[in-house]
Every structure is written in structure tokens, then in C-alpha cells.
Amino acid sequence: MTRAAAFFDLDKTVIAKSSTLAFGRPFFQGGLINRRAVLKGAYAQFVFSLAGVDAAQMERMRSQITAMTTGWDVAVVHDIVQETLHDIVDPLVYAEAADLIETHRAAGREVVIVSSSGAEMVGPIGEMLGADRVVATRMVTRDGRYTGEVEFYAYGENKAAAMREVAAERGWDLADCFAYSDSVTDLPMLEAVGHPTAVNPDRALRKVATERGWPVLEFNRPVSLRARFNGARTPVVTSAAVGAAVAGLAWYARRRTLRPLPAIVDAPVVPLPGRRRRRGA
């Protein structure tokens, strides 16, 4: 049993984009969202890459999750993520993050991905990265479908609480553990360990890191990991989740500094295009 671990936030810390938004196109192709939502997702990714988020915006995202995912088939979401994971996420992983993960594993520390996204995404991504376990948002399912209710939201203080729970289970001393994140909303997560580091920090987190003398890292080289983690282990999902990958499409677009986009919660689902029948056939 190891005595320490390294906890990694996911979006803009390990991967260059939002894991929530990255699966927009595959979900469209699977018939879960419409074309309008895909276009908004592309715009929202651009907005997400420019700045961080605050607590109010994260709360709006949770509201979008409960509305968007209600009634979705769990098996369909799982299959889409599994089939498209490497094409969608593999090219987005920062080389610097991959090196850091390998360094911690070589030092005998377990690697834990801690993300507000759902385990249908975070679990497979963690496996690809060679993480030992993941902590993610948990939503309620009934009869194989998402009810839209959030059972556990892996955000803010909840992340820190989950980390303390895992540490107690594994016998880790958090004073010897490491944590990495880009957002000031993850301040409780960073404060929970003895070795916090800000990665690609938003303005508020950069200020805190400077005041407290925390290390600040800049990751900017996304690379493919197909050859790097061939021996990756399947991580333990500490807080399983649904997190519907496109739940935050409208939320991310509603930046205070940019013109709001229309909500997509009530937009109709566009069926997958089929082949046109030939005239006379």
C-alpha cells in the first residue's frame, strides 16, 4: 500500500479542452443532441479555453446537467464514449501532464483523477491515462436511464471531502500528497494536500498561488498517448457518474463578458440522417 497519491483535476489540467464538451459531436451522431447543440459546443470550447469559471457558473452547469440528461439511456452513453474515446480525447492530453503522471507513478504514488464530469467519461479517460482511480459526479439512474437527479456533485468542497475519504481508505497522509488544478473553484482540493500546484491557472487561482508561494505550471503541448499508456490499469471509480457530456454546452457559452446564447435544454433531438431512397425504388 502506498503512503501518498497525486490528485489531478481533468479539464485544462490534464486535457486541453472540457471533457464535458468534447463528446458533443459523437452524441449528435448517436442521436442524443441536435446540430444546434454541436455548434454551440464548438463555440463554448473556445470560450472555455479563454478563461476560468466561478461558482455561480458551475451551479448553472449543474442545472443544465439535470435538465439535459433526463431520460438518456445509460448504455447508449457508455457505448458512445467507449467507441469514440481515443479519437476524441487522446490527442488532447498535455504532454507535460503525461510526464508528471509517469513521474508520480515511478515514485510509487497512486494517481487519482478528480473531475466534476461524469464517470462514463472520466473513468475511461482515467484508464487511458493509467490512473488508479477516479472521483467524479454521481447521478441517479432508474431502469437503465438517467433521472436527472444529482446524487453527488464532485465540485468545490465535495472534491476535498472525497479526497479525504479515499485517503483514509488507502492510508495516505494528505500532507504527503500532491494536487493539481487550473481553477480557483478547486481551492479546497488544493488546500487539502501538502503539495498543491496550480496548472494553467485562471486569474483568481494565479493570485492565490502567488500569495501562498505555490508552484505554477504552464502546460501547452497536447500529444497523442496511444503509445504512452499501453499498459494502463483500470481505475477504481470512487464516485461513479453520468455527467452527460453535453450538459454544459449552453452554460459555458453564457459568459458574462460575451453575449448569451439561447438555452438548448428544450431543443428537439434531431434523428440521425438516413439514406435517401432513390426515386422509383
Over pLDDT 70: what percentage of the chain?
60
For the segment 125-177, what is each residue's pLDDT rounded down to a tens digit?
898 888 999 999 887 888 988 888 888 888 899 999 999 999 999 999 999 99
Of these residues, 11, 90, 132, 186, which one is catalytic? Answer: 11
CATH superfamily of domain region 5-253: HAD superfamily/HAD-like (3.40.50.1000)
The residue among 22, 86, 81 whose CA lies nearest residue 252 is 22
Of these residues, 9, 90, 182, 202, which one is catalytic? Answer: 9
Q: How far apart are CA 115 and CA 121, in angstroms?
A: 10
Domains of the chain, residue spans: 5-253
Annotated active-site residue 143? The verdict is no
Close Cβ partners of 135 (under 8 Å, ≥ 6 residues apart): 112, 113, 114, 115, 154, 159, 162, 163, 166, 238, 239
The torsion defined by the Cα of 124, 148, 263 and 80, in degrees rounded to 10, comes to 30
Q: How far apart are CA 92 and CA 221, in angstroms?
A: 9
For the segment 210-264, what is each residue's pLDDT rounded down to a tens digit?
999 999 999 999 887 765 554 445 566 554 343 433 333 333 334 333 433 333 3
What predicted TM-score, i.e. pTM, was given to this entire model? 0.73
Ranges of beta strands (E only) in 32-132 are 110-118
Annotated active-site residue 11? The verdict is yes
